[in-house]
């Protein structure tokens, strides 16, 4: 074997790294015990940096480009000047490739609720979640502070620590911001900038930066959200009394037949109660020592709809129709309908309403009486 055959088999000529895993941050060039050949080519692609570690100490950082490892000024090359050892230097140098591109769509969220003081609701518990991106800004510092001698360092190995830092700063910023809960949705961008500014200095100690931070949602506990929904519903309803009347009319007036069935059921129940009461009393009234019969429930008051100019108005109670009759808004010829009634009828043809038009004041007393 010639000397050139020995050199070509014993040394590595090309040093480079291609990655398709999308989550590897640092990868060590595997040398398998071989020394770096004097004059070898080092290829550093865009989005990468190459860190040389010589004799356990960081020697140099190479940015994207093509390099010929033949300069005697490079600390790594000092180990290749021992010609008396036949290129078998006892010193070894390691090369770490660092991915300097952004790692996007990383998730974060509050594990426990954040207690804040809201100016409107008082003490509240808030949860939040979102996404962020991370990037290696200082490859040398990142290698020294985080990676160490790990031959393949992935994003999963540090994402948990970053999330802890992020949630801590988010909690502090949210508690000090004093933004009302009702206005937080409109200020998520500003909150994201505040948190990003607070976390920048701490991440810089690791050689990292956070280009983007998004707050997707800030939410209250489910019980509080349910109360807020009820409060919003009350604001939409407006007049509570009118709303309750409308709900009662809707329940009774579902297609007429349903209302008739409801009324028939009420009548049957009332008849059964009367029968049971009579059987308990016997022919001479209530027996001694037996409790008094429970009075039947009051009759169900009808609600009425009035047809006027091809439109339906109502529902109205009987008292409301009485006021309308007094004011002239309801006449004998007015067409009315109530659940359970067979079609529209004139007001004077309904026994319950006819009396509204027959009640007249008594004649005045004679003069001098």
**350: CATH:** 3.30.1490
- Residue-level pLDDT at 255: 53
Q: What is the mean pLDDT of residues 141-167?
A: 90
Is residue 151 assigned to a domain? yes
Structure tokens at 118: 């809201």
- Provide mean pLDDT across the span 302-311: 84
Longest dimension (CA), the chain: 153
Higher per-residue pLDDT: 287 or 58:
58
Per-residue pLDDT, 85: 37
Does residue 280 fall inside a structural domain? no
**221 with 141, same domain?**
yes
* 137 or 324, greater pLDDT: 137
The pLDDT assigned to 35 comes to: 65
Q: 90 and 139 share a domain?
A: no
> How many separate domains does the chain show?
3
Same domain, 48 and 71: yes
The verdict on 32 and 130 lying in the same domain is no
pLDDT tens track for 107-153 = 999 888 888 888 877 888 898 999 999 999 999 999 999 888 888 99
What are the distances in angstroms from CA 82 to CA 15, 88, 344?
A: 22, 8, 115
Region 68-89: mean pLDDT is 46
Residue 79 lies in a domain: yes
- In this predicted structure, the answer to whether residue 270 has a pLDDT above a threshold of 90 is no
| pLDDT score of 236 more than 90 | no
DSSP bridge partners of 312: 307
Distance CA 136, CA 303 (A): 74
Asked whether the predicted pLDDT for residue 84 surpasses 60, the reply is no
Pair 108, 202 in one domain = yes
Residue 69 within a domain: yes
- CA trace torsion 66, 69, 75, 81 (10° rounding): 180
Average pLDDT, the chain: 76
If asked whether residues 117 and 94 sit together in one domain, one would say no
Q: What are residue 92's phi and psi, to 5 degrees? A: -115, 145
137 shares its domain with 210: yes
Q: Does residue 239 sit within a domain?
A: no
User: At residue 3, does pLDDT exceed 50?
Assistant: no
Domain assignment present for 32:
yes
* Residue 76 pLDDT class (50, 70, 90 cuts): very low
| Number of H-type helices and E-type strands within the chain | 9, 16
How many other CB atoms are there within 10 angstroms of residue 189's CB atom? 11
For range 32-42, the mean pLDDT? 67
Question: Does position 11 have pLDDT exceeding 80, yes or no?
Answer: no
Least confident of 79-93, 217-231, 350-364: 79-93
Structural domain boundaries, residue 157: 103-225
Give dist(CA 253, CA 312) in Å, integer: 13
Confirm whether 236 is domain-assigned: no
Tokens 């000047």, located at residue: 81
Q: ω into residue 364 within 30 of 0, thus cis?
A: no
65 — alpha (psi -120 to 50), left (phi > 0) or beta? left
pLDDT value at position 253?
63
Rounded mean pLDDT, 150-162: 90
Q: Kindly tell me if the per-residue pLDDT of 291 is higher than 70.
A: no
| Alpha-carbon span 50 to 99, nearest angstrom | 9
């Amino acid at each position: 074997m010639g000397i050139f055959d020995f050199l070509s088999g014993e040394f590595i000529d090309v040093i480079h790294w291609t990655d398709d895993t999308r989550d590897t941050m640092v990868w060590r060039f595997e040398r398998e015990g071989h020394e770096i050949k004097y004059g070898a080519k080092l290829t550093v692609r865009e989005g990468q940096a190459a860190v040389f570690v010589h004799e356990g100490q960081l020697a140099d950082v190479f940015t994207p480009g093509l390099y010929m490892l033949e300069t005697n000024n490079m600390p790594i090359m000092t180990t290749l000047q021992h010609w008396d050892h036949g290129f078998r230097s006892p010193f070894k140098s390691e090369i770490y490739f660092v991915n300097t591109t952004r790692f996007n769509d990383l998730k974060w969220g509050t594990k426990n609720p954040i207690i804040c003081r809201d100016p409107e609701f008082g003490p509240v518990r808030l949860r939040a979640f979102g996404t962020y991106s991370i990037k290696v800004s200082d490859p040398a510092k990142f290698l020294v502070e985080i990676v160490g001698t790990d031959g393949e360092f992935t994003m999963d190995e540090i994402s948990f620590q970053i999330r802890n830092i992020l949630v801590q700063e988010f909690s502090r910023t949210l508690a000090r911001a004093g933004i009302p809960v009702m206005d937080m949705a409109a200020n998520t961008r500003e909150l994201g900038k505040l948190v990003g500014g607070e976390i920048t200095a701490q991440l810089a100690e690791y050689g990292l930066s956070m280009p983007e931070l998004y707050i997707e949602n800030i939410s209250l506990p489910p019980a509080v959200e349910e109360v807020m929904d009820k409060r919003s519903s009350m604001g939409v309803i407006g007049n509570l009394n009118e709303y309750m009347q409308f709900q009662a009319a809707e329940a009774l007036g579902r297609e007429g037949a349903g209302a008739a069935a409801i009324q028939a059921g009420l009548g049957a129940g009332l008849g059964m109660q009367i029968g049971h009461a009579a059987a308990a009393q016997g022919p001479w009234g209530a027996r001694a020592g037996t409790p008094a019969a429970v009075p039947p429930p009051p009759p169900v008051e009808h609600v009425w709809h009035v047809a006027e100019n091809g439109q339906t108005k109502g529902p109205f109670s009987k008292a409301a129709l009485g006021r309308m009759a007094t004011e002239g808004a309801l006449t004998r010829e007015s067409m009315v309908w109530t659940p359970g009634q067979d079609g529209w009828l004139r007001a004077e043809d309904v026994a319950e309403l006819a009396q509204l038009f027959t009640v007249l004041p008594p004649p005045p007393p004679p003069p001098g009486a």
